[in-house]
Chains A and B, each alone.
Chain A
Amino acid sequence: MPQVTLTVNGKRHTVEVEGRTLLVELLREKLGLTGTHVGCDTSQCGACVVHVDGVSAKSCTMLALQADGSNVLTIEGLAAADGTLHPMQEMFREHHALQCGFCTPGMVMSAVDLVNAHPEGLSEKQIREGLEGNLCRCTGYHNIVKAIAAAWPLMHQKAAAAE
């Protein structure tokens, strides 16, 4: 079986996979990172979104082999090492942007990338359009939109302060 070497949440792994193994299967089944979810089989729901080399990607739509040499960040690696939640996680909690929690990891990872990609600001419409690839059946998106809008200044102020 072919091997894939990749870094996940800062830790390097070399794993044997089948050619058809998906990145999400590698994460969930080989590495035990079950925070990334599978909600569909047509690349529509976004429950499996992770970051690959800093950009959001649907890990159900990527072969594990395609991630060879990549740096992958999953929901388990988003909070600080001491457990302090990322501002996006904190704002999801503050604004009740999750109910059953199943879409949440993918939703949060998409939202982080969306905010990162828009340092100039994000309108409600841009947020809604930016969530095109993520389905939530519980919240009606209302509170997700609010949480992302609230996380934007926290994420960009933090970035500005660090510069």
Chain B
Amino acid sequence: MPFEGIGAAVRRKEDARFLSGRGNYTDDINRPGQLYAYVRRSDRPHARISRIDTTQASKAPGVMAVFTGADMAADNIGGLPCGWQIHCKDGSPMKEPPHPVLAVDKVRHVGDPIAVVVAETKQAAKDAAELIEIDYQELPAVASVRDAVASGAPLVHDDAPGNICYDWHIGDKAVVDAAFAKAAKVVKLELTNNRLIPNAMEPRAAVGDFDPNSGDFTLYTTSQNPHVIRLLMGAFVLHIPENKLRVVAPDVGGGFGSKIYHYAEEATVTWAAGKVRRPVKWTAERAESFMSDAHGRDHDTVAEMALDADGTFLGLRVSTLANMGGYLSTFAPCIPTYLYATLLAGVYKTPVIYCEVKAVFTNTVPVDAYRGAGRPEATFLLERLVDVCARDTGMDRVAIRRKNFIPADAFPYQTPVALQYDSGDYQATLDACLKAADYAGFEARRGAAAAKGKLRGIGISTYLEACGIAPSAVVGSLGARAGLYEVANIKVHPTGSVTVYTGTHSHGQGHETTLAQLVCDQLGVPLDQVEVVHGDTGKIPFGMGTYGSRSLAVGGTAMVKAMDKIIAKGKKIAAHLMEASVEDIEFKDGQFSVAGTDKSKTLTDISLAAYVPHNYPIEELEPGLDETAFYDPKNFTFPGGCHVAEVEIDKDTGVTEVVNFVAVDDVGRVINPMIVEGQVQGGVAQGIGQALLENAVYDEGGQLLSGSFMDYSMPRANDLPMITVGTEITLCTHNPLGVKGCGEVGAIGSPPAVINAVIDALKDYGVRHIDMPASPQKLWSIIQSGTPRMAAE
């Protein structure tokens, strides 16, 4: 058998269908008798709706029905629920205003859905939607967090004074203030983390299907977590019990977080299918994606580091305003709190940390997790602040990091912000990355670039993330309204092939291959005899889906537990067949053997006996070889590492070219190195995009200015370099595979590496900080207005 188990760079099982045009994405699904929905959205950032008249639209050719929020209210349809409750400093719960599926009396952002037309064709629905008459009373709007918290700002929700959703903190402020009082040096930095639009290449889509005979509903949707959608939509919105509701997330064309949440259109098409008793399909146009997919990031932060005279970090104090948008998206409240502030120790032994976060409502699209989710914001803050500390104290950037690293022998390490890291070696990832990037040889390259009129800089980021989410009891105590365990059902079929039913979901990660490799490794079954099934509540027992780099650490561990049960049962069957004691049965490479003898049975012998139990311990064992396991993780996992970016800035245009990028990450044990490398490269590309190109821009009145690919700068092939990826591993100590996670490290570690490199390139221009994106316009202005200091100064 070829080596296909843990560590093998096997080519992906899913690729053949994707490369041949045989993928099965939601918009590819057509149900018999299907109708099409088009959503009429608000073009106003903030307005009262004084009248909606659907008369003309209802009479338009091909139109079956036009529905508004009033129709849903008449059917007792609930609002979209939020899955996480944060409590404020004073103990009061966050403000959680209603989020109607279709806006009823007020719209709160451009793109807020108001009505839906269901018609025989997509074009008929779209044409008719234009005939809906809506009278608005426009209200003043706020788009930025600073404007939203200013006194006298218009209120997005009347019951959220000052537009504050919550005012939360972590850490002991008095202790941190005391550390600052005795510090030799305090370094302060104000920064923003730019708002991003995830832009998975597949626009969201949903097909609602209703079977009038059985009363069963099926929703096909572009989701990262179909069971979560079934729970939220069934229990809280449409009041359909789980036995009557199946949710299928087929091939999904990228998610990056944006397809975690329960969206209005999913509930709308499912409900509408029941009303018109025919299937209803909705597919977003890209313009709708821009104004209705949850956005990411959007922080405004003041951070201060207290240092002693030799550059040791004494304390960190952070105050952040986080944009929630117009409503709370499913996981929004936890992103700038438990996925952000708890990460502020990073890779450093900063002894005391205080962070306060005000979450703010604005007249913008809801903001929620986007690749990294809170952890890129924490990392950008820390890695920029550390560079500024080096600059302000005259220390070397590498030396100040090394000095403050948590040492490799300090694990398990308890941070002052709740997390306990299990393993890591930050000196090792730094060393490997500096070597791979030829950091030592940089000044020669800087000189060579200068000779051609280019400003060359190098930047470092040493980062940490917490992922593999999450221990249910812990997140429950922090406000999660769900458990975050994972489920695996593994069936060994009578003749030895295997089907894995996983509650995680693959939307590019390659689970059909990686998870199958776990089966090759543990059960000794060849890769082509293992099938991984995901994304269907009708087939999979349960599952919390894929996000937070959890699929292997949590879902993979559930598989290991299920396979342990299979092996344990298989040993009993083998003992019976070979007339041996169970204690004497060993299992290795797909063979059950009696220790110390040459007697053995294959897994296929055992599975056949289990399903054809002619010679079987039927009094003691049930037939079959089919086991389900739930795994609730004991802790988060903590990948970390070092990213080094090298850039050249064109003095005449301000354009930055990333000329070299090296990432060395500790992702724990690697199952498929080819896939890990691809995940990191993709994450780094999004991080470089954030650092140099991407920006979701609202004008002061709340209009989205970057609402298409013409206006929002997505990284293209020519914007990016080859991305060198290395790994330097320590094993996770609390899951059996030793895995940590690799899906988000690229997007977390890379943005500050790029910005640190840009600032290094501009070192002669006296630049202390540049907010992202470091656009050509910003850099050109700095170069034009600044006078380079002479080298002799």
A residues lining the B interface (CB < 8 Å): 18, 20, 28, 33-42, 44-45, 47, 74-76, 78-79, 85, 89, 92-94, 96, 98-105, 108, 124-125, 127-129, 131-132, 134-145
A51 to chain B, nearest CB (A): 13
Q: Is there a chain A Cβ closer than 8 Å to B641's Cβ?
A: no
Contacting residues, chain B, for A139 (C-beta < 8 A): 678, 681-682, 685
B residues less than 8 Å from A20 (CB atoms): 123
Residues on the B chain within 8 Å of A101, using CB: 14-15, 17-19, 23, 251, 253, 508
Contacts of B780 in A (CB 8 A): none
As a 0/1 sequence over residues 1 to 32 of chain B, the CB contacts with chain A under 8 angstroms (1 = contact) are 00000000001101111111111010110000
A41 CB to closest chain B CB (Å) equals: 5
Q: Are B20 and A100 in contact (CB under 8 A)?
A: no
Q: Does residue B69 face the partner (Cβ distance < 8 Å to A)?
A: no
User: Are B723's CB and A93's CB within 8 A?
Assistant: no
Alpha-carbon distance A44/B723, docked complex (angstroms)? 24
**What sequence of 0s and 1s flags, for each residue 499-517 of chain B, a beta carbon within 8 Å of any chain A beta carbon?**
0000000011110000000
Query: Would you call A96 and B12 a contact (CB within 8 A)?
Result: yes
B285 CB–A CB distance under 8 Å: yes
- 11 additional A-B pairs beyond A99-B679, A141-B720, beta carbons within 8 Å, are A20-B123, A37-B202, A38-B27, A41-B285, A44-B714, A75-B21, A93-B19, A94-B11, A98-B15, A138-B201, A140-B681
Query: Which A-chain residue is minimally distant from B722 (CB atoms)?
Result: A142
Is B686's CB under 8 angstroms from A137's CB?
Answer: yes
A47 to B167, CA, bound (A): 43
Q: Tell whether B153 is near chain A: CB-to-CB under 8 Å.
A: no
| Consensus secondary structure, chain A interface | loop
Answer whether residue B612 sits at the interface, using C-beta atoms and an 8 A cutoff.
Answer: no
Say yes or no: A39-B202 contact (C-beta < 8 A), given A138-B254, A140-B682.
Answer: yes
Task: Find chain A residues with CB under 8 A from B763 CB.
Answer: none
- Given the known A-B contacts A140-B685, A143-B681, are A131 and B20 also in contact in the complex, defined by CB atoms under 8 Å? no
User: What mask results when residues 672 to 684 of chain B are scored 1 for a CB within 8 Å of chain A, else 0?
Assistant: 0011011101111
B243, CB-defined interface residue at 8 Å:
no
Q: How far is the CA of A128 from the CA of B716 in the complex (A)?
A: 8
CB <8 Å contact, B20 and A35: yes
How far, in whole Å, are A79 and B16 apart by their CA atoms in the complex?
A: 11
Interface centre among B20, B25, B674, B746 (most CB of A within 10 A): B20
The docked-state distance in angstroms from the alpha carbon of A108 to that of B18 is 11
Minimum CB–CB distance for B374 against chain A, Å: 20
With beta carbons under 8 angstroms apart, the residue of A34, A78, A89, A100 that contacts B201 is: A100
Chain B residue nearest in CB terms to A106: B201
CA distance A143 to B673 in the complex (A): 14
Residues of B within 8 A of A (CB): 11-12, 14-23, 25, 27-28, 123, 199-203, 251-254, 256, 283, 285-287, 507-510, 674-675, 677-679, 681-686, 708-710, 714-718, 720, 722-723, 746
How many A-B residue pairs have C-beta atoms within 8 angstroms? Tell me. 177
Chain A contacts for B12, CB-based, 8 A = 93, 96
**Which B residues lie within 8 Å of A96 (CB)?**
11-12, 674-675, 677-678
The chain B residue sitting closest to A131, CB to CB, is B717
Residue of B nearest to A92 (CB): B19
In the complex, what distance in Å separates the CA atom of A28 from the CA atom of B122? 13
Residues of A within 8 A of B715 (CB): 140
Chain A residue numbers with a CB within 8 Å of B287 are 41
Contacts of A94 in B (CB 8 A): 11
Among candidates B22, B683, B720, residue contacting A35 with C-beta atoms closer than 8 Å = B22
Residue of A at shortest CB range from B675? A96
B663, chain A: closest CB distance, angstroms: 11
Q: Contact between B717 and A127 (Cβ–Cβ < 8 Å)?
A: yes
In the complex, which residues of chain B have a beta carbon less than 8 angstroms from the beta carbon of A33? 21
CB distance from A37 to the nearest CB of B (A): 7
Say whether A75 contacts B20, CB under 8 Å: yes
**Residue on B nearest A136 in the bound complex, by CB:** B201
Q: Is the CB of A102 within 8 A of B21?
A: no
For A92, what are the chain B residues with a Cβ–Cβ distance below 8 Å? 15, 19
C-alpha gap A42/B709 in the complex (Å): 7
- Beyond A35-B21, A89-B19, A102-B253, whether A131 also contacts B681 by CB under 8 A is no
Whether B678 pairs with A85 at a CB distance below 8 angstroms is no
Q: How far is the CA of A39 from the CA of B682 in the complex (A)?
A: 18
B252: chain A residues at CB < 8 Å are 100
Residue of B nearest to A85 (CB): B19
Some 13 contacts from A to B, beta carbons below 8 A apart, are A18-B123, A36-B21, A37-B27, A47-B201, A101-B23, A102-B253, A131-B716, A136-B201, A138-B254, A138-B678, A140-B723, A142-B722, A143-B678
Q: Which residues on the B side are within 8 Å of A28 (C-beta)? A: 28
